[in-house]
Amino acid sequence: MKLIRRLRTNALAFIGALAVLGVLLMAMAAPVIAPHDPLEAETSDRFLPPGNSKYLLGTDFLGRDVLSRIIFGSRISLLIAGLSVGAAIVLGVTSGVIAGFFGGWVDTVIMRISDVIFAIPTLMTALGVVGLLGRSMNAVVVALAVSYSPLFARVCRSAVVSIREMGFVEASRAIGASRARILAKDIIPNILPLIMVQATTSLSWAILAEASLGFLGMSVEPPTPSWGTMLTTGREYFYSGPTVPLFAGLMTLIAVYAFNLLGDGLRDLLDPRAWEQLN
């Protein structure tokens, strides 16, 4: 039974990893694999339905190739997701580790702040930040980074609190290791698997959030292709070109699902083992 479970979770992680790799490759190789320029508007070819030889997925309201726009759209989504989760990791892990390691009022203050941010839904935080900073890629990255930091802070803090009490940390303290050394050698290496798992899951939500913000009109400005904005502009031409948003949304679904699969698989693979090793 246990073996089957191991294989299953391995398979999940494997499929997830493949899918994620696929999306990443697509984004990186966009200029090479996209059949057309995503910004090139052929007004004579507007609203072509999918399935023709020149434009595989059809064209949008300006005559731009949908497939190319989707491929290039992955760049924006992944870039924004990557930047915001990266920033969230920096901010969240630092505060979480500090809170867990030093405890006391530092811990309380950091955790209270992170609880407040955590309580507010991501979309609301994003609306607030975009409202302040205006509609731009920076605003979205800041908004998502702020939203996701508390997650990392919490996860790291609890991990640090548990690890702090463990035998090998006490041993390091006994031989006179400095705080910095304990942090670097004992604590950080052991929270890395947790961070990895959380990062993958957060990436999936970040992609979804960016698409939703794009849909609301709060992400990058046109004509830059983004999966969410493709859906909004597609809505206006609901009757003439209904397929554009369908493909954009489908692509979002695939990308998010890929990262989620990977995250779930990683969590099943890494977490219990990490703790077993420590114990």
Partner 1 sequence: MLRYSIRRLLVLIPLMIGLSVVVFLYVHMMPGDPVQAMAGPDTNPELVEKIKHELGLDRPLHVQFLDWASGLLRGDLGITFRTRQPIAPILLNRIPATLELAGGALIVAVLLGLPPGFLAGLKKDTKFDYVFSLVALAGLSTPLFWSGYLLMLVLAVKWGVLPAVGYIPFSENPKLNLTYLIMPAATLGIGMAPYIAKMTRTAVVESMQEPFVDFARAKGLHKKRIIFRYVFRHAILAIVVVLGMDIGFLLGGQIVVEELFNWPGTGRLMVRAVLERDYFMVQATILIYAAVFVFINFLMELIHGGLDPRVRLE
Nearer to partner 1, 172 or 232 (CB): 232
Nearer to partner 1, 97 or 256 (CB): 256
The answer to whether residues 168 and 186 touch, using CB atoms and an 8 Å cutoff, is yes
Report the nearest approach of partner 1 to the CB of residue 266 (Å): 13
Instruction: Give exposure, 7-33, as e/b (b: 16+ Cβ within 10 Å).
Output: eebeebbeebbebbeebeebbeebeee
Q: How many CA atoms lie within 13 A of 203 on its CB side?
A: 24
The answer to whether residues 227 and 251 touch, using CB atoms and an 8 Å cutoff, is yes
Q: Is 27 helix (H, G, I), strand (E, B) or coil?
A: helix
Interface residue with partner 1, options 3, 32, 119, 180 (CB under 8 A): 119
Interface residue with partner 1, options 24, 246, 270, 274 (CB under 8 A): 246
The one-letter amino acid at 248: A
Using the rule CB under 8 A, give the single segment among 35-43, 90-98, 130-138, 157-165 that binds partner 1. Answer: 130-138
What's the CA gap between 59 and 53, in Å, rounded?
Answer: 12
Print the binding letters for residues 199-238 with partner 1: x by CB under 8 A, - otherwise: -----x---x--xx--xxxx---------x--x---x--x
Interface residue with partner 1, options 31, 131, 223, 272 (CB under 8 A): 131
Q: How many CA atoms lie within 13 A of 25 on its CB side?
A: 7
Interface residue with partner 1, options 7, 21, 109, 124 (CB under 8 A): 124
Print the binding letters for residues 250-269 with partner 1: x by CB under 8 A, - otherwise: x-xx--xx--xx--x-----
What's the CA gap between 157 and 103, in Å, rounded?
Answer: 9
Binding site for partner 1 (CB under 8 A): 1, 5, 8, 119-124, 127-128, 130-133, 135, 204, 208, 211-212, 215-218, 228, 231, 235, 238-239, 242, 245-246, 248-250, 252-253, 256-257, 260-261, 264
